[in-house]
Amino acid sequence: MSERVYPPVIKTALGVFKALNIKFRLEGTEHIPAEGGAVLVSNHVSYLDFIFAGLAAHPAGRLVRFMAKKEIFDNRVGGPLMRGMKHIPVDREAGASSYAAALKALRGGEIVGVFAEATISRSFTVKDIKSGAVRMAVASKTPLIPVALWGPQRLWTKGRKRRLLQRNVPVTILVGEPLYPKRGDDYDQVTEDLRARMSELLEKAQREYPDVPKAGEKWWQPAYLGGSAPTPEEAEKLDFQEAEARRASRLEREERAQGEGGAS
């Protein structure tokens, strides 16, 4: 498979990280298979996570095809890059086609990356995850590989200004032991086991992180470690309010469009 876009993007990203003196801690990469399909499931703390989660497979010489919301592919800058890297668009109105595309990639020996929490976790803990990743692994007979990221939230996360040029930020990428779900398993239980492994990895990354927040910077630290990030319960309320606001805005646009159509 021709790769004209992905390798240069990785090389550019690594060059930028070096210039910014981003300090990586990368562990567990031996769990990434040298060949064959796999479902890589990462937590989600920033808008840059697909870059850092993808680096988990870099030592094995593998590229990760991430499932990402369709809106990114519609962007005039990001879209061509995403398509060039052969990532998989997710249209929530047509989920079956996204699932089919992911299965095709997995059966073709690709690693498919999934952010099973669906949205960035405001609490910086692992939210409830859906069973889609487990079902894909079972259908394609591929392993599930849990990954935990910590540090990217300091560069760009939900509700905070971008700080992409911030220097000397440590970034932790931990890869856990694979799970091998199979037909007949309780998919909900396997999903909970996956979430537990991701949470364990993330807590390890957080507790062993080399930096502590300075005055006024406690927003990037989870509440359970004394930070001012929302608790999981507070974050859930904020997510609900955001979803309701989006829904109301969408309905308003649809009603306006119908009104304009009727007036013509």
For residues 85 and 115, membership in a common domain is answered with yes
Amino acid letter, residue 176: G
- Same-domain pairing of 152 and 236: no
Least confident stretch, 21-30, 91-100, 201-210, 236-245: 91-100
142 and 248 fall within a common domain = no
Site of tokens 């469009």: 257
Q: Crossing angle of helices 187-207/132-140, nearest 10°? A: 110
User: How many separate domains does the chain show?
Assistant: 2
Q: Are residues 204 and 237 in the same domain?
A: no
Q: Where are the beta strands (DSSP E) in 139-226?
A: 144-150, 170-175
Residues in the chain: 264
Dihedral sign (CA 159, 160, 164, 168): negative
* Mean pLDDT of the chain, nearest integer: 95
Question: Using one digit for the tens of pLDDT, what is the confidence trace for 53-104?
Answer: 999 999 999 999 999 999 999 999 899 999 999 999 998 777 789 999 999 9
Same structural domain for residues 15 and 141? yes
Q: Which residues span the domain enclosing 194?
A: 6-229
Shared domain check, 253 and 156: no
Q: What is the pLDDT of residue 264?
A: 56
Task: Looking at the structure, tell me whether residues 72 and 171 fall in a common domain.
Answer: yes
Amino acid 221: pLDDT:
98
For the record, the structure tokens of 34 come out as 């040298």
62 is a domain residue = yes
Tell me, what CATH number does 54's domain have?
3.40.1130.10
Q: Which helix (H) or strand (E) holds 65?
A: strand 64-69
pTM as predicted = 0.94
* Residue 120 clears pLDDT 80, i.e. is over it: yes
Do 93 and 130 lie in a common domain? Answer: yes
Q: Comparing 35-44, 166-175, 239-248, which segment has the lowest mean pLDDT?
A: 239-248
Q: Are 183 and 77 in contact (CB under 8 A)?
A: no
Residue 260: pLDDT band by 50, 70, 90 thresholds?
A: confident
**Residue 1 falls within a domain, yes or no?**
no
d(CA 118, CA 132): 11
- Arithmetic mean of pLDDT, 207-217: 96
pLDDT at position 257: 85
pLDDT attached to residue 188: 97
Work out the angle at residue 183's Cα, subtended by the Cα atoms of residues 144 and 191, and round it to the nearest 5 degrees. 45
Q: For residue 130, is it within any domain?
A: yes
CA dist., res. 128 & res. 111, Å (int): 23
Instruction: Report helix, strand or coil for 38.
Output: strand
174 and 236 inside one domain: no
Identify whether residues 104 and 223 lie together within a single domain: yes
The pLDDT, as a whole number, for residue 168 is 97
Q: Are 176 and 211 in contact (CB under 8 A)?
A: no
Q: Residue type for 75, please?
A: N
> Could you read off the pLDDT of 4-20 as tens digits, one per residue?
999 999 999 999 999 99
- C-alpha angle 88-202-113 in degrees, rounded to nearest 5: 10
Q: Is the pLDDT of residue 263 over 90?
A: no
Residue pLDDT, tens place only, 123-180: 999 999 999 999 999 999 999 999 999 999 999 999 999 999 999 999 999 999 999 9
pLDDT for res 179: 98
Whether 180 and 65 map to the same domain: the answer is yes
**Is the pLDDT reported for residue 38 higher than 80?**
yes
Distance, in Å, from the CA atom of 52 to the CA atom of 105, rounded to the nearest integer, reads: 21
What pLDDT score does 27 carry? 98
Q: What DSSP character marks residue 176?
A: P
Q: Are residues 63 and 19 in the same domain?
A: yes
For residues 64 and 40, give the distance between their C-alpha atoms in angstroms, rounded to a whole number: 8
- Residue 37: which pLDDT band, with cuts at 50, 70 and 90? very high
The letter for the amino acid at 157 is T
